[in-house]
A and B are shown apart, each in its own frame.
Chain A
Amino acid sequence: DAGVIQSPRHEVTEMGQEVTLRCKPISGHNSLFWYRQTMMRGLELLIYFNNNVPIDDSGMPEDRFSAKMPNASFSTLKIQPSEPRDSAVYFCASRGMGEKLFFGSGTQLSVL
């Protein structure tokens, strides 16, 4: 298995632009998590899905952030409009029936 696949690997955009981050979980995994990591705040859980349904989005910072999981093999995290304070590394992770959480390589987002 190729593991959790995230794209793009790096994203540089200007303030006010829409940003879409993509994630393909490991096949057969039924839980998917989006995290954000910054030096100041560490690794923060934004939202997680179970069987494609959002379970807890209390970590989503504000209405500019939205996440979808239209099917078991794909999820997106969208920021519209983006702001410089959104600059961070965004990780996607998935989990199957076991207890291990598998992370992708992350998307390094820079909002200028």
Chain B
Amino acid sequence: DQQVKQNSPSLSVQEGRISILNCDYTNSMFDYFLWYKKYPAEGPTFLISISSIKDKNEDGRFTVFLNKSAKHLSLHIVPSQPGDSAVYFCAASGSGGGADGLTFGKGTHLIIQP
């Protein structure tokens, strides 16, 4: 039973446009959410996070939105650049303390087209 779902395996966006990656979760105990970016043959790289006490967090071109009532979060990248092409993983953390493992979605492969 997947607790974190990324329903789009892939997404193609034109360079300069906005990329929107979506993530849904089912466990209401999750209170911290992260986005990771992964290139082939590399480990995931942390991008941005959000606590459940917020509904938006922004860092440069990256903004994460959290809708707790809908159990939905999204990552916006604007403007999209060729180097953004990668697999993006949504991850969530529960209330087991700071050391609990992250629960990941299966990832969305973002392709930025020139």
Partners in one complex: no
